[in-house]
Every structure is written in C-alpha cells, then in structure tokens.
C-alpha cells in the first residue's frame, strides 16, 4: 500500500478501480475516510480511493494553492451604464481552500471582475467590499449596511446595483431591501439585483458566472422598477438546472427551495418577472407578459431618496404549528421581551388550539397563552408553512375563531420569511403590524399572483 500524499500537493494517482485502471490528476486534500486518498480534480469535483487500490502516486508539484487573478483596472466606456457591485460574500465569491478541501469565502470583488471580463461589455463596473461572509451570519445590521451602500451608489450616479450574497438567506435580504426602498410607496432610483451561486466559482459546474453576468445585465439594462410588482429589488439566479437562462424574480416573492440544485430559487405565489438568456457571454432579456402589463398600467411611484432602515434591537419569535407546539414555549419566549410572534400555520393557517375530544388539554393551554399575548398587545401573525397558497382563515370555523381572538395573517400570500421581514420593517418604522400585514406595500401582497 502506497503512502498518502501531503495535503496540498499536486499529484498524479494511478488506481485499480472497479472500472479498471484509472489515472487522475489534481490536488491532494484531507482524506474523506481513513486509509483513503482524496484528490480535488481540475473540474472542481473530489475523487476518493482506498489506498489499497492505489498503484502509484506521483508528486507533480510542491504544496500550493491556486493562483488568484490579479485585480485589473476596468476601463470606462461612456456609452455604457454604471453598475456598482456590493460584495457581501457567499458561494459566488468563494473558492476551495486546497489545504482543507473546504469552500471558504475569500474572493475579493476585484477578482470577480478580473475573472469575468465579459462584465465590462455590459456596464462600467465598480466593486465595493462590504464583507466576506456566508449568509447564515447576516443580520439586520448587515441589511442596513447594504441599504446605505446602495443609497451611496445611486447618489454617486450609478444606474444599477448588484449585491453578491450567499444563497441561504439571500431571499431574506432581498425582501429587507425591498421594504427599505419601496415599503412606503416609493421605488428605488435604479435597479437593484441580488445574486448568488449554488456552486463555488472554481468548480466546473459553477453557476456563478452566468448568474453574475445576468444580474449585471439586469442592473444595467432592465426596465426602471415600478415598485408595485415586487421589482424594486430582484433576485437573479438560474432558471433551471441547465445553463443558458437565468430568471429574474421579485425580491419579495422568491424562496430557496432546494439545498443544492442550481435552480434552487423558485417564485412563491407569483411568477418570474423576466428571463435572461446568456449566449457566449452576451446577455438579452425578455419580460414576462404579466410583468410587461404591470409596467404599462402601473401609476408611477415617486423615487425614494431616503430608504428606511431596520432597528437591530427588534426581537421576533418564530414557531411552527403542529403536535410539538406548547403553551410553555410561547410563555417562555414572551419573558424575553419579543415584540411579535410569527407562527407558521398548517394548511390555510391553522393552529392547534381546540380540544373537541377532551383529550388534548395542551391545545386549550396554547389557546390561553396566545390570548394572553394578544391581551398584552404582542402581535401574533400566522403564515403558511405550505409555502405556496394563501392564508385563509375564513374557510373553517377554526380560522374564524383565530381571527376573533385577534390573530393576524388572513389573506397573506407572501412566503413566511418575507412576512417576518415585513413585520420587522413595520416595527422598525413605527407602522402598526395589523396595518402592515394586510397592506400590499411593494408587491408582496399581490405580485403577479398565480391562480
């Protein structure tokens, strides 16, 4: 049995596999299992083999990491729009750490431009680094930073803004900026597009390049947002698992619905606004019919000069309705000083608060706990854990009982995450929650609804 190579060495490995003799080249990683050799291949994928099956390992080079392209100065073309990329991190700006095999957020904004020169044919590109973090770690203070940076970009004369962002909470941040710029009946001065990628930019299957090209194209050449159709801020990602077409989704009407597919983002109770086709680095877009009609018939909103911000001290508790929801959890969270409670209801927005068989006293206790919250003026908002479809508490007596209690949420069609952001925005801007929940502020309430 051969000895395992040192991590980071470039190697050529000959293996007697079940498919016959195989030769692979790449960079040695920490082994995926004991007595195995794991190699990062040039296409970005990992290959692991038992050492007992390895016939030979040839060292091709010393321990190294891939060469990073040097930042390049981007020339100015007066005929092109001006787009500023706000870099927050995430997989679109990640590379493989060849010492560990892990994906790390370390791609600088200048590298994004240097690695994708086609960007300079779409717009005059600027890049600002706000952070280099995975989206799991983003909180309201980071939304505020993005809001301020986008405001500065427009004040500096930019036509559009692109926010590179990790995908796990990208739809939450896009909703946050949507309400910040358009929640008060206005619209941003230009186009704002959030973009991410499901696979790091140095993988052969990466979606980063096409997503970024499409986002910059939209920020530079998309229609002026009307604000009513959820287009104040958009999300641009792959339309399918295949290359060549990216979708433009309302920033308040999209959700990540798959952990790994390149078309992980899908609209919730709405449709895409447009499709962007990428052909050898050249982009073009086609507006969806309903969005085109919305642009034509919508009365123009005033341009927002001062986007609203988020109070970082706001506390919102979230629960999921079901067999495990008990009054004790509600009462415990109230003691922490939460300003609102969001519960993802079952079906049309129902909660386990009735005991018709007199064998589930937990339900009665939960009803009492929620009633006490409402009496204390702590808003209770029900969303739909089905994701798609409305909250409709008029259909069954259970729902009507909830409305009589003072529970909010009837008529909601937005995804649960968008509703939480909306409640946070309302609390931050001194708007009554009961008014905010029923209002269609920027397309989240009726944006191109499906039947």
Could you tell me the residue ranges of all domains in the chain?
A: 10-61, 82-297, 316-428
Higher-scoring residue by pLDDT: 347, 109: 347
65 pLDDT more than 80: no
3-state class percentages of the chain: helix first, strand second, coil last, to nearest 5: 25, 25, 45
Q: Are 338 and 315 in contact (CB under 8 A)?
A: yes
Residues marked active site are found at: 91, 167-168, 256
**Quick one: pLDDT band at residue 62, thresholds 50, 70, 90?**
low
Flag whether pLDDT at 86 surpasses 80.
yes
Residue-level pLDDT at 346: 96
Res. 99 pLDDT band, cuts 50 70 90: low
The tens digit of pLDDT for each residue in 392-438 reads: 999 999 999 999 999 999 999 999 999 999 999 999 999 999 999 99
**Mean pLDDT for the stretch of residues 360-389:** 96
- pLDDT above 80 for 91: no
The whole-number average pLDDT for the span 316-339 is 97
Q: Residue 450 contacts by C-beta under 8 Å, 6 or more apart in sequence?
A: 269, 270, 271
Mean of all residue pLDDT scores within the chain: 88
Q: Which stretches of 103-167 are DSSP H helices?
A: 109-115, 140-155
Q: What is the pTM of this model?
A: 0.82
State the pLDDT confidence band at 26, using cuts at 50, 70 and 90: confident
Rounded to an integer, the average pLDDT of 280-288 is: 93
What is the rounded distance in angstroms from the CA atom of residue 125 to the CA atom of residue 6? Answer: 41
Q: Is 29 helix (H, G, I), strand (E, B) or coil?
A: strand
User: Quick check: do 10-61 and 82-297 share a fold?
Assistant: no
Specify the 3-state DSSP secondary structure of 319. strand
pLDDT higher than threshold 60 for residue 18 = yes
Cα(109)–Cα(86) distance, rounded to whole angstroms? 8
- What would the mean pLDDT of 130-152 be, rounded to a whole number? 94
- Residue 40: predicted pLDDT: 76
Please check the confidence at residue 69 and state whether its pLDDT lies above 50. no
Q: Worst-scoring range by mean pLDDT, 54-63, 356-365, 426-435?
A: 54-63
Tell whether the model's pLDDT for residue 106 goes beyond 70.
Answer: no
**Residues 245, 336: Cα–Cα separation, whole Å:** 47
Residue 444 · residue 252 · CB < 8 Å: yes
28 in Cβ contact with 7 (< 8 Å) = yes
How does DSSP classify residue 412? -
Supply the pLDDT for residue 283.
Answer: 95
**What pLDDT does 98 receive?**
55
State mean pLDDT over 355-363. Answer: 97
- Token pair recorded at residue 157: 């004369």
pLDDT category at 224 given cuts 50, 70, 90 is very high
Whether 123 shows a pLDDT value over 70: the answer reads: yes
- What pLDDT, on a 0 to 100 scale, did the predictor assign at position 72? 36
CATH architecture of 316-428: 3-Layer(aba) Sandwich (3.40)
- Calpha distance 354→41 (Å, rounded): 58
Cα gap 446→450, rounded to integer Å: 9
Predicted local distance difference test score (pLDDT) of residue 9: 82
CATH number of the structural domain 82-297: 3.40.50.1170
Residue 361 has pLDDT above 70, yes or no: yes
Lowest mean pLDDT, pick from 203-207, 274-278, 357-361: 203-207
Least confident of 106-120, 208-222, 227-241: 106-120
Q: Give the per-residue pLDDT at 66.
A: 37
Digit-coded pLDDT (tens) for 185-196: 999 999 999 999
Mean pLDDT score, 155-181: 96
What CATH number has the domain spanning 10-61? 2.30.30.520
User: Rounded CA gap, 197 and 166, in Å?
Assistant: 7
Residues 6+ apart with CB under 8 A from 275: 239, 245, 246, 247, 248, 285, 286, 288
Task: Please determine, for residue 64, whether its predicted confidence score (pLDDT) is greater than 50.
Answer: no
Query: What is the percent of the chain where pLDDT is above 90?
Result: 67
């Amino acid at each position: 049995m051969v000895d395992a190579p040192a991590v980071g060495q470039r190697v050529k490995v000959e293996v007697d596999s079940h498919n016959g003799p195989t030769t692979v080249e790449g960079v040695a990683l920490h082994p995926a299992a004991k007595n195995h050799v794991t190699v990062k291949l040039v296409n970005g994928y990992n290959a692991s083999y038992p050492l007992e099956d390895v016939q030979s390992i040839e060292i091709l080079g010393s321990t190294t990491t891939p060469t990073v392209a040097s930042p390049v100065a981007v020339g100015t073309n007066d005929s092109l729009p001006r787009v500023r990329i706000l870099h927050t991190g995430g997989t679109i700006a990640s590379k493989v750490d060849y010492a560990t095999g892990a994906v790390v957020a370390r791609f600088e904004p200048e590298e994004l431009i240097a690695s994708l020169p086609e960007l300079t044919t779409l717009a005059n590109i600027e890049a600002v680094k706000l952070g280099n973090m995975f989206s799991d770690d983003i909180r309201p203070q980071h939304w505020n930073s993005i809001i301020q940076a986008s405001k500065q970009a427009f004040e500096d004369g930019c036509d559009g803004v692109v926010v590179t962002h990790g995908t796990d909470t990208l739809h939450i941040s896009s909703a946050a900026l949507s309400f910040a710029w358009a929640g008060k009946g206005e619209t941003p001065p230009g186009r704002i597009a959030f973009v991410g990628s499901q696979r790091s930019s140095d993988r052969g299957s990466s979606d980063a390049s096409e997503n970024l090209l499409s986002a910059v194209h939209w920020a530079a050449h998309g229609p002026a947002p009307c604000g009513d159709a959820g287009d104040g801020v958009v999300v641009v990602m792959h339309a399918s698992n295949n290359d060549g077409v990216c979708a433009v989704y309302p920033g308040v009407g999209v959700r990540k619905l798959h952990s790994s597919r390149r078309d992980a983002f899908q609209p919730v109770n709405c449709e895409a606004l447009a499709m962007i086709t990428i052909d050898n680095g050249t982009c073009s877009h086609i507006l969806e019919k309903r969005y085109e009609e919305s642009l034509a018939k919508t009365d123009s909103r005033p341009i927002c000069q001062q986007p609203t911000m988020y109070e970082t001290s706001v506390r919102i508790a979230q629960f999921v309705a079901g067999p495990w929801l008990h009054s004790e959890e509600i009462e415990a969270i109230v003691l922490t000083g939460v300003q609102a409670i969001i519960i993802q209801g079952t079906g049309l927005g129902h909660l386990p608060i009735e005991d018709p068989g007199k064998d589930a006293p937990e339900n009665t206790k939960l009803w009492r706990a929620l009633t006490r919250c409402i009496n204390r003026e702590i808003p209770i908002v029900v969303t739909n854990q089905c994701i798609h479809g409305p909250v409709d508490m008029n259909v069954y007596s259970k729902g009507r009982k909830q409305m009589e209690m003072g529970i909010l949420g009837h008529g909601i069609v937005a995804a649960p995450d968008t509703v939480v952001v909306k409640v946070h925005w309302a609390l931050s801007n001194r708007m009554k929650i009961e008014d905010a929940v029923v209002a269609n502020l920027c397309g989240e309430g009726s944006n191109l609804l499906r039947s």
